[in-house]
């Protein structure tokens, strides 16, 4: 059973027909999805969808693009104990945006500490900030989770692997010229791979971002398996075991 471990159904155009999006996913053998919040409104939104749409679980958190001095991480607590919330995210660090990096780091650390306290995995966005991200997760020992749509080199990935982290691969793996991503795909051990779309933010080869849905995870699987020289069915079975290892049965027994 394939699961899209990162998508944004509160964003256009997915938000217009979330039930239809998930029905189309099931038709391709994608059984569910982990809907990621990134600020208070989207976190509340993914929680409502997880309560009402079969196949959706939620992650709630404050993304580095949207943290402000008045951001209150304590706001996450009542959401994080909801039975349909299985992770804290999307959180992280981004060195490519203007939002104050010290502020980003402060709230990244606070959310890592909260996730550790509640024993929840985190979903991490890291762009042009791999070293500070690594420093933060080392500082909050025991934090664990997913580097989502990771774009770093294998040499960087190795240092996160040593700490027990997982990597979710996205539509960039389907692009013929994405050589660095292809190197990463071939390098990662199979027991640390998950799959995502980041819909509607990342396109696939031949599919623009706004047309991407969780059903596209099937194409990501096929591309990743081809790059690794593995049968898709074998990789799919391993990814299901990885989901069990990280989340328990929640994202496997979707519905």
Q: Assess if residue 203 is contained within a domain.
A: yes
According to DSSP, residue 129 is labeled -
According to DSSP, residue 60 is labeled E
Render pLDDT for 172-220 as a digit per residue (tens, 0 to 9): 999 999 999 999 999 999 999 999 999 999 999 999 999 999 999 999 9
Q: Assess if residue 84 is contained within a domain.
A: yes
The helix/strand/coil state of 33 is: strand
Domain holding 50, by residue range, is 2-247
What DSSP assignment string belongs to 133-170?
A: HHHHHHHSTT--EEEET----HHHHHHHHTTT-EEEE-
Q: Assess if residue 123 is contained within a domain.
A: yes
Q: Is the pLDDT of residue 255 over 60?
A: no
Q: Which of 122, 192, 118, 116 is nearest to 154 (CA)?
A: 192
Q: What pLDDT is recorded for position 254?
A: 59
Render pLDDT for 92-103 as a digit per residue (tens, 0 to 9): 999 999 899 999
Q: What pLDDT is recorded for position 151?
A: 87
Q: Assess if residue 254 is contained within a domain.
A: no
Share of the chain above pLDDT 90, in %: 95
Q: What pLDDT is recorded for position 1?
A: 81
As for how many domains the chain has, the answer is 1
Average pLDDT, stretch 153-177? 96
Q: Assess if residue 77 is contained within a domain.
A: yes
Q: Assess if residue 255 is contained within a domain.
A: no
Q: Assess if residue 63 is contained within a domain.
A: yes
- Whichever domain contains 97, its CATH number is 3.20.20.140
Q: Is the pLDDT of residue 253 over 90?
A: no
Q: Is the pLDDT of residue 81 over 60?
A: yes
Q: Assess if residue 253 is contained within a domain.
A: no
Render pLDDT for 58-79 as a digit per residue (tens, 0 to 9): 999 999 999 999 999 999 999 9
């Amino acid at each position: 059973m394939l699961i899209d471990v990162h998508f944004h159904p509160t964003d256009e155009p997915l938000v217009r027909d979330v039930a239809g999006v998930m029905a189309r996913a099931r038709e391709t053998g994608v059984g569910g999805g982990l809907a990621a919040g990134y600020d208070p409104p989207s976190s509340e939104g993914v929680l409502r969808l997880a309560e009402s749409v079969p196949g959706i679980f939620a992650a709630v958190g404050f993304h580095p693009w949207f943290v402000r001095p008045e951001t209150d991480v304590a706001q996450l607590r009542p959401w994080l104990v909801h039975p349909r919330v299985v992770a804290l995210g999307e959180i992280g660090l981004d060195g490519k945006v203007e939002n104050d990096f010290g502020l980003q780091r402060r709230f990244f650390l606070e959310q890592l500490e909260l996730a550790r306290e509640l024993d929840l995995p985190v979903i991490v966005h890291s762009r042009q900030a791999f070293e500070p991200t690594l420093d933060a997760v080392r500082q909050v020992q025991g934090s664990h989770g997913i580097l989502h749509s990771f774009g770093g080199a294998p040499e960087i990935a190795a240092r996160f692997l040593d700490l027990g982290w997982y990597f979710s691969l996205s539509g960039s793996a389907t692009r013929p010229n994405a050589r660095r991503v292809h190197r990463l795909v071939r390098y990662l051990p199979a027991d640390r791979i998950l799959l995502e779309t980041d819909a509607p933010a990342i396109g696939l080869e031949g599919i623009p971002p706004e047309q991407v849905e969780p059903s596209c995870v099937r194409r990501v699987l096929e591309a990743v398996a081809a790059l690794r020289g593995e049968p898709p069915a074998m990789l799919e079975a391993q990814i299901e075991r990885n989901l069990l290892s990280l989340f328990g049965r929640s994202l496997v027994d979707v519905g």
